[in-house]
């Protein structure tokens, strides 16, 4: 697909990779609808795109709420004059060991169900709802070809302290294949990109020692940038023969 032909939704578009994707697409002439719970950040994304060739519009979106997702997809479709793409980018972290024993007191602590549910609701259920409703709208209006890009993570292979995040990102990568098979009759491709450690507000909030240890384990000896991930996202969109697969963009990092 040509970038300039896209009428695409991006979740988590208020900052970080989501904002970067939106601006790159607008530079190429695409029409983009960004959603996020961070309304101030959404306004900044729209402002940053004002001088670009394409257009970026924004509306509050909580992907964990089914009704909100449905309303957002309907709004995006009407506002952009159709839909033929989705980047499932929204994600949160609520890290913690599943079971932990305090070294001093011996008290045993566990990962709370709230921590588990929050991450699964946004990173997996939210992405699934967005894919479902976007594709349903595309099929209903007979819009094809179409493309979905799921943002997974290198953590899908398993990472200490991230049972919830790893589970969600692994499932999203697996469903990339599932959805590619299901949506192929409609002319819709599905691909995934799995970033390693990328410079975003999410990673900037990490514990400094943990962050330094991770960077030292990356063979290319640097943290990634949103542009590194955009190059892979662009490939998934533009290569009409790419389908049902996940691209790791992690500098060679192994977890």
Express each pLDDT in 10-29 by its tens digit: 999 999 999 999 999 999 99
Q: What's the rounded Cα separation, in Å, for the pair 211 and 93?
A: 15
Q: What pLDDT, on a 0 to 100 scale, did the predictor assign at position 226?
A: 96
Per-residue pLDDT reduced to its tens digit, 113-134 = 999 999 999 999 999 999 999 9
CATH number where 49 lies: 3.40.50.720
For residue 77, give the DSSP letter. Answer: H
Of the listed 165, 179, 183, 230, which one is catalytic? 165
Rounded to the nearest integer, the mean pLDDT of the chain is 95
Q: How many structural domains does the chain have?
A: 1
pLDDT band at 231 (very low <50, low <70, confident <90, very high): very high
What's the pLDDT at 209? 83
**Nearest one of 82, 8, 54 to 238, comparing CA atoms:** 8
Q: Is 173 within a domain? A: yes
- Percent of the chain at pLDDT above 70? 99
**63: confidence class by pLDDT, cuts 50, 70, 90:** very high
Look at residue 54 in the predicted model and tell me its pLDDT: 97
Q: Which residues contact 85 (CB under 8 A, 6 or more apart)?
A: 1, 6, 7, 8, 9, 146, 147, 148, 149, 237
Q: Is residue 199 in a domain?
A: yes
CA-CA distances (angstroms) from residue 174 to 48, 150, 194?
Answer: 34, 10, 12
pLDDT beyond 80 at 205:
no
Q: pLDDT per residue over 140-172, tens digit each?
A: 999 989 999 999 999 999 889 999 999 999 999
CA distance 186 to 13: 27
255 in a structural domain: no
The token pair at 72 is 């957002």
Which letter does DSSP use for residue 148 in this model? Answer: E
What pLDDT sits at residue 121?
A: 97
pTM: 0.93
Q: What's CA 25's distance to the chain center, in Å?
A: 15
Domain-embedded: residue 169: yes
C-alpha to C-alpha distance for 136 and 73, rounded to whole angstroms: 10
Instruction: Tell me which residue range forms the domain holding 112.
Output: 3-249
241 flagged as catalytic: no
What one-character DSSP code corresponds to residue 224?
B
Q: Within a domain: residue 10? A: yes
Residue 55 lies in a domain: yes
Looking at the domain assignment, is residue 254 inside a domain? no
Query: Checking DSSP bridges between strand 31-36 and strand 55-60, what pairing results, if any?
Result: parallel
In a domain, 196, yes or no: yes
Helix H segments across the chain? 16-27, 39-48, 66-80, 113-119, 127-140, 163-183, 201-204, 208-216, 226-238
């Amino acid at each position: 697909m040509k970038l300039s032909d896209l009428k695409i939704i991006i979740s988590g578009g208020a900052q970080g990779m989501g904002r970067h994707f939106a601006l790159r697409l607008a530079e190429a002439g695409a029409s983009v609808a960004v959603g996020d719970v961070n309304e101030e950040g959404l306004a900044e994304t729209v402002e940053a795109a004002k001088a670009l060739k394409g257009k970026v519009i924004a509306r509050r979106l909580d992907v964990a709420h089914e009704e909100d997702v449905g309303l957002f997809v309907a709004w995006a479709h009407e506002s952009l004059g159709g839909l033929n793409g989705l980047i499932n980018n929204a994600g949160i972290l609520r890290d913690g060991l599943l079971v932990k024993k305090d070294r001093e007191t011996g008290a045993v602590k566990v990962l709370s169900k709230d921590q588990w549910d929050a991450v699964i609701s946004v990173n997996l259920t939210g992405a699934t709802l967005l894919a479902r409703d976007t594709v349903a709208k595309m099929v209903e209006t007979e819009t094809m070809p179409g493309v979905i890009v799921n943002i997974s993570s290198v953590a899908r292979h398993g990472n200490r302290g991230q049972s919830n995040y790893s589970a969600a990102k692994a499932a999203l990568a697996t469903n990339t294949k599932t959805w590619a098979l299901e949506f192929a009759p409609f002319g819709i491709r599905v691909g995934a990109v799995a970033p390693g450690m990328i410079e975003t507000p999410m990673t900037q909030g990490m514990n400094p020692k943990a962050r330094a240890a991770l960077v030292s384990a990356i063979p290319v000896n640097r943290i990634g940038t949103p542009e590194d991930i955009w190059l892979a996202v662009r490939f998934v969109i533009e290569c009409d023969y790419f389908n049902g697969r996940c691209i790791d963009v992690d500098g060679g990092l192994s977890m």
